[in-house]
Amino acid sequence: MELLEYMKNRRSVRIYTGEPVGEEKLEQILQAGLLSASGRAVRPWELIVVREKKLLKKMAGARAMGAKMLEGADCAVVVLGDAEKTDVWTEDCSVVMAIMHLAADSLGVGSCWIQGRRREASDGRSTEEYLRELLEYPEHLKLEAILSLGMPKNHPEPHKLEELPMEKIHWERFGGKKKYAYMEHIAKEVMEFCKELDEMPENPSPRSVDRKEFTLLLSGISACRKIPGIQLHMGYETLYHCENEKDAAEARAFLQKMYEIRPHDLESLKVALIREFSECEQYEQFRTFWLGSPMFSLDELRPEGRAWFVKSRDMAEAFSPVVKERGFYAWDINERIGLCRKAAACGMITDEEFWELTDLWVRQAQVFYHSWKEYAVSCLCGAVYFMRREKEEQLEAFLKLNMNLIRQLFAEGMAWQKSTWYQPQEREWVEMFDLRQECLITKKALEEERIGYMYRQNPEEDFTDCGWRFMAGDETEEYVNEPGNIIVCQYSMVCNIEPSVRAYFYSDRGKQYEKVNGEWREIR
Ligand SMILES: Cc1cc2nc3c(=O)[nH]c(=O)nc-3n(C[C@H](O)[C@H](O)[C@H](O)COP(=O)(O)O)c2cc1C
């Protein structure tokens, strides 16, 4: 086994079988200790190996509580340091302790560190005094710790790598996050791709599309992914249906196996959609952290969730300059509509159910994006983030594959090139924020759908106020002081006008921000 494998397995073992630790193993453990690094190679340590049962029992009293396991131990190694030889004897002795503890575990011997320095014995004396009398070591030697040893009765489960507190690692400076170089590399490639898209000639006379066609066009990428039973490309103009019942049955069986969707069970489809494609919600949570108004504290997460969150958040950050508040919505919308299309194609859901389900995503698409190009870039970033657990080469290949699909969608006469981005006659509002919260907004900001300044106050008590105040930014003081110009509205509604405000929702009261060159800047 490699050293890291031993480390992964290491645990403190306090209950022993009573069997003796073999001489050879004990010798190897002690050798490992003596092989330790020490400051200026002074090796200020002395080790007392105790195997006499009577002595071990007495040693258990060296601590009021923490040394009980010595009663059942086969052996103890007391590590002492010579304080006259070096001022780093505690560090030197700790290294010996740690190495012997790990060596023991790797040899199948259970061990546990028992703290000696600065601790009290059961009789009120210091642990050091207690043991000095028992083991007769001289004054100039100071007690560091004791390693109890014995054959393990049971070895606790190894710690899980996914539960390691990764947030304790700071990069470059305190609070600094890990940069995922390959994610940044991919983000750069996406930036290049943005330029390529910008340089593509605009279609001088794009076809305008209705809401239904727009819905189908939103599944641009996922519609290209075929599944058994859906032989042809589903197209983007009408809702596709399988050619015959045999094909439909094949498609249903596939969807059932892959996504656990059951025919005529809308709930099972909804569950699958959320389970498989929720990259957009994750990105939104991450964004509250990047902008300094985290929606929760990392301490609230369970260890495995925390490690996952921190890693995913730091990986996603590479895309934040590219997609900003638009995040990964496009990817999820594309995938969700794509999956619903397949479910509708084979009759797992009805056409009506399809249009009902997809309505929300069509509204979201309108809030976040203004063109197929914007939508395409966000799709691409979301796609890579979706596949982030894959190896670098696979990620790169997935990026290229999706870039090529997008190039095809923008080729002369193809779906996203020939069609306009759908703009409804009247604004379609969408619930963009879970919490039912209200805020104040100036009439001007609401009418012109333009937010340029926002701040958070202590909430008013006569409505469910979240404390946020929004303005266009160029209102006069006189205008703002006129009560008729201030309106109570849903926070969610403001998010429709300016989706970038959502990530600031949890900012502390008293914070204020102004929009400068399209970015929010805190006013201090
Ligand atoms: C400096 C130090 C002092 C410790 N003191 C004691 C102790 O006095 N008694 C004890 O039972 N365990 C002691 N331990 C063991 C810890 O309780 C143990 O490492 C911790 O609970 C984590 O469990 P693990 O080692 O299985 O990962 C000590 C460990 C260290 C590093």
Pair (406, 474) in one structural domain: no
141-150: strand order across its sheet? 45-50, 75-82, 141-150, 110-115
Calpha distance 137→408 (Å, rounded): 81
Ligand 1: which residue has its CA nearest to atom 15? 113
Quote the CA–CA distance of 62 and 134 in Å, as a whole number.
10
Structure tokens at 430: 């969408």
> Does residue 430 lie within any of the structural domains?
no
So what's the pLDDT on residue 365?
Answer: 97
At residue 302, does pLDDT exceed 80? yes
98 Cα nearest atom in ligand 1:
31
What pLDDT is recorded for position 498?
A: 96
Element (H, E) at 76: strand 75-82
Domain boundaries, position 55: 3-150
For the Cβ of 112 lying below 6 angstroms from any atom of ligand 1, the answer is: yes
Q: Which atom of ligand 1 is nearest to the CA of 97?
A: 31
Cβ(93) – ligand 1 distance below 6 Å: no
Residue 155 near ligand 1, beta carbon < 6 Å: no
**Do 448 and 387 share a structural domain?**
no
Strand 512-516 relative to strand 141-150, pairing:
unpaired
Are 53 and 88 found together in one domain? yes
Residues 367 and 513 in one domain: no
- pLDDT score of 295: 95
Does the C-beta of 104 come closer than 6 Å to ligand 1? no
The whole-chain average pLDDT of the chain stands at 96
Q: Would residue 189 count as lying in a domain? A: no
On whether residue 174 sits in a domain, the answer given is no
Distance 16 CA to ligand 1 centre (A): 16
Over residues 203-231, mean pLDDT: 95
Q: Are residues 121 and 22 part of one domain?
A: yes
Q: Are 379 and 263 found together in one domain?
A: yes
One domain for residues 348 and 488 = no
Digit-coded pLDDT (tens) for 367-376: 999 999 999 9
> Are residues 54 and 135 part of one domain?
yes
Last residue of a domain, one of 418, 451, 483: 418
Does any domain span residue 201? no
Task: Give residue 228's pLDDT.
Answer: 96
Residue 443 has pLDDT above 90, yes or no: yes
Judge if 400 and 451 occupy the same domain.
Answer: no
**Which atom in ligand 1 lies closest to the alpha carbon of residue 159?**
27
Instruction: Evaluate whether 325 touches 287 at the Cβ level (below 8 Å).
Output: yes
Residue 71 lies in a domain: yes
Q: What percent of the chain has pLDDT over 70?
A: 100
User: Is the C-beta atom of 113 inside 6 A of ligand 1?
Assistant: yes
Residue closest via CA to ligand 1's atom 27 equals 11
Residue 286 lies in a domain: yes
Q: Which two tokens stand for residue 203?
A: 């279609």
Shared domain check, 366 and 327: yes
Nearest-5° Cα angle at 474, 470 to 478: 90
Are 398 and 451 found together in one domain?
A: no
Asked if residue 406 and residue 301 are part of one domain, the reply reads yes
pLDDT, residue 163, reads 85
Report the nearest atom of ligand 1 relative to the CA of 63: 8
Give the count of domains, the chain.
3
What mean pLDDT is predicted for residues 161-186?
89
| Exposed e or buried b per residue across 33-70, where buried means at least 16 C-beta atoms within 10 angstroms of its C-beta | beebebeeeebbbebbebeeeeebebbbbbbeebbbbb
Specify whether the CB–CB gap between 353 and 306 falls below 8 A: no
In a domain, 92, yes or no: yes
Q: Which helix (H) or strand (E) holds 516?
A: strand 512-516
Residues 6+ apart with CB under 8 A from 166: 306, 307, 310, 311
Pocket test for ligand 1, best of 10, 12, 97 (most atoms within 8 A of CB): 12
Domain boundary among 132, 150, 168: 150
CA distance 433 to 401: 34
Cα 45 to Cα 48: distance, rounded to the nearest angstrom: 10
**Residue 422 · residue 236 · CB < 8 Å:** no
Q: Ligand 1: distance of its center to the CA of 17 in Å?
A: 20
pLDDT in tens, 16-53: 999 999 999 999 999 999 999 999 999 999 999 999 99
CA of 111 to the centre of ligand 1 (A): 10
Three-state secondary structure call for residue 339: helix
Question: For ligand 1, is residue 457 a contact (CB within 6 Å)?
Answer: no
179 falls within a domain:
no
- Among residues 363, 386, 418, the one where a domain terminates is 418
pTM for this entry: 0.79
pLDDT at 1 exceeding the cut of 80: no
70 within ligand 1 shell (Cβ under 6 A): no
- Flag whether pLDDT at 175 surpasses 90: no
